[in-house]
């Protein structure tokens, strides 16, 4: 279907591109550009000004508009109607992605016209333009994705403030990078990736295109779930594996000890992958809804041998947990194969300790969520984890029990591998807690 016939896009055009806006925007932008010509020494040359306005208006403000367009569906009570429409997930994704920030794109297109008209037209200008457009689409998709994920976290009636918060957080994180990377002043030099020397501006463009691809794919997959399709965590797993592969470029082709002292590029990369998986699992443990009715159904399906259906409803945190375990296993094997025995044991125990801490924390989060009213469970889990990771070790250190305090920090297992037993004991206690709470759930 042509973009101009996408019903969702057309609806946004009706709503956002009013005649008043269509006339006023070019006039206001023209005034800004005229003023900027008088302040050239202060604000930079015209192409830079045009690009900065594009980043601000289309990239950042557009992301806000995109997020708001979804949040408004919720507050206006129109989302169920959209979910029942005949539009496919891809059509809906394109419609929201192009339609939500359509006004920001209108202003942005004018800025890009000015940029194109005033630049020395060469490969560098084209690269900058493509980077800016890709980054803007990635941000819009990210904002929409954050809004949808925010909704799924809690009952729909109260989801909006949190999903708005997710969009704002996204902007706060990415806004400075966008201005710095696309702005043009910090893009000299090169990046070494898998041993290749790549111009920094080329690498930024590659990252922006990849971010656009993954953010759009993520949005599409979550949209599918919203449109009642069962959606196994395949894309999420593919994304994590992609991250492992992509970040490998910063380790391989380097000398040993470049990234992490004493470790070969392979081991350093694997250690980083473990860290990545752990972080992803933690993020989803707190970011996803722990619907125990769905978990019970998953357990029933698995017990009944209906593994395909079970896989379709497997939560992403569980898939991430499994990947974390696999990453730890691969790292352990690599350590055993490439390091002297004592060093291998120390690193193996450290990796296992990280995983045991993840299991402990996951069990704690789940156990606290195994109640009728889950509204405060994640907040309570966060407080308990703060106690376990900061307050309790701090207190033990204050009273001179440094040795015992080490039990609550996974990195110290490297010095005392035997401490792993105590970490495993903590994980066992947490699992017992979660299992007891699970069994006490109403039938």
Partner 1 sequence: MIAADQLTYDYPGKRALDQVTFSLAPTSITALVGPNGAGKTTLLRCIAGLDEPYSGSIAVAGIDVLRRPRDAHRQIGYLPDHFGLYAELTVRQCLLYAGRARGLDSAALDARMRDVAAQLDIADKLQDKAGSLSRGQRQRLAIAQAIIHRPRVLLLDEPASGLDPESRAALSGLMRRLRDEGMTLIVSSHILAELEAYCTGMLVLQHGRVVEHRVLEHSSRADATREIRLRLSRPVSGLRELLTQRGVTISSHDTQGARFSMSGGDDALSSLLQSLLAAGLPVCEFTLEETSLQDVYLKAVEDHRVQP
| Residue 220 binding partner 1, by CB under 8 A | no
Question: 37 or 78: whose CB is closer to partner 1?
Answer: 78
- Encoded one letter per residue, x for contact with partner 1 by CB under 8 A and - for no contact, window 369-398 reads ---xxx------------------------
Question: 340 or 442: whose CB is closer to partner 1?
Answer: 442
| Residue 242 binding partner 1, by CB under 8 A | no
Question: 197 or 372: whose CB is closer to partner 1?
Answer: 372
| Residue 255 binding partner 1, by CB under 8 A | no
Smallest gap from residue 82 Cβ to partner 1 (A): 7
| Residue 322 binding partner 1, by CB under 8 A | no
Q: Contact with partner 1 (CB under 8 A): which of 2, 38, 42, 77?
A: 77
Interacting residues of 139 by C-beta distance below 8 A, sequence separation 6+ = 59, 60, 62, 63, 170, 171, 174, 178, 215
Smallest gap from residue 443 Cβ to partner 1 (A): 8
Q: Contact with partner 1 (CB under 8 A): which of 4, 27, 34, 76?
A: 76
Applying CB under 8 A, the span of 79-87, 162-170, 185-193, 325-333 interacting with partner 1 comes to 79-87
| Residue 127 binding partner 1, by CB under 8 A | no
Residue 201, token pair as written in the block: 């501006």
Under rule CB under 8 A, which residues in 271-300 are in contact with partner 1?
Answer: 291-293, 296-297, 300
| Residue 314 binding partner 1, by CB under 8 A | no
Question: 77 or 340: whose CB is closer to partner 1?
Answer: 77
Distance CA 44, CA 39 (A): 8
Applying CB under 8 A, the span of 61-69, 82-90, 262-270, 413-421 interacting with partner 1 comes to 82-90
Instruction: Please answer whether residues 290 and 362 qualify as being in contact, where contact means their C-beta atoms are separated by less than 8 angstroms.
Output: no
* Contacting positions for partner 1 (CB under 8 A): 5, 7-8, 10-11, 14-15, 73, 76-88, 227-230, 291-293, 296-297, 300, 372-374, 441-442
């Amino acid at each position: 279907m042509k973009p101009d016939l996408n019903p969702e896009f057309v609806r946004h055009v009706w709503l956002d591109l009013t005649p008043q806006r269509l006339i006023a925007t070019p006039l206001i932008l023209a005034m800004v550009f005229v003023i900027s010509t008088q302040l050239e020494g202060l604000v930079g040359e015209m192409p830079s000004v045009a690009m900065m306005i594009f980043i601000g208006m289309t990239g950042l403000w557009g992301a806000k508009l995109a997020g708001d367009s979804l949040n408004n569906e919720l507050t206006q009570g129109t989302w169920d109607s959209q979910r029942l429409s005949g539009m496919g997930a891809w059509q809906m994704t394109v419609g929201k992605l192009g339609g939500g920030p359509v006004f920001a794109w209108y202003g942005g297109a004018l800025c890009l016209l000015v940029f194109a008209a005033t630049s020395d037209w060469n490969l560098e200008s084209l690269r900058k333009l493509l980077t800016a457009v890709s980054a803007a689409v990635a941000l819009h998709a990210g904002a929409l994705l954050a809004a949808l994920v925010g909704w799924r976290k809690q009952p729909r009636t109260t989801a909006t403030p949190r999903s708005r918060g997710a969009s704002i957080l996204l902007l706060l994180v990415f806004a400075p990078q966008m201005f710095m990377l696309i702005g043009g002043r910090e893009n000299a030099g090169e990046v070494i990736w898998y041993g290749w020397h790549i111009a920094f501006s080329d690498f930024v463009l590659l990252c922006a295109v990849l971010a656009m691809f993954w953010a759009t794919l993520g949005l599409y997959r979550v949209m599918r779930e919203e449109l009642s399709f069962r959606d196994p965590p395949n894309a999420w797993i593919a994304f994590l594996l992609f991250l492992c592969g992509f970040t490998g470029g910063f380790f391989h082709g380097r000398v040993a000890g470049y990234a992490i002292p004493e470790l070969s590029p392979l081991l350093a990369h694997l250690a980083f992958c473990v860290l990545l998986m752990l972080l992803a699992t933690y993020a989803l443990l707190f970011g996803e809804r722990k619907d125990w009715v769905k978990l019970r159904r998953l357990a029933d399906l698995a017990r009944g041998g209906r593994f395909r259906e079970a896989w379709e409803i497997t939560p992403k945190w569980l898939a991430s947990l499994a990947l974390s375990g696999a990453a730890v296993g691969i790292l352990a094997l690599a350590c055993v194969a490439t390091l002297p025995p004592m060093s291998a044991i120390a690193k193996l125990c450290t990796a296992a300790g990280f995983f045991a801490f993840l299991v402990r924390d996951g069990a704690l989060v789940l156990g606290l969520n195994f109640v009728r009213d889950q509204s405060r469970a994640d907040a309570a889990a966060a407080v308990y984890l703060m106690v376990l990771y900061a307050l309790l070790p701090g207190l033990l250190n204050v009273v001179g029990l440094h040795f015992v305090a080490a039990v609550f920090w996974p990195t110290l297992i490297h010095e005392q591998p035997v401490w792993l037993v105590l970490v495993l004991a903590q994980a066992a206690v947490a699992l017992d807690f979660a299992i007891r709470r699970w069994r006490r759930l109403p039938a």
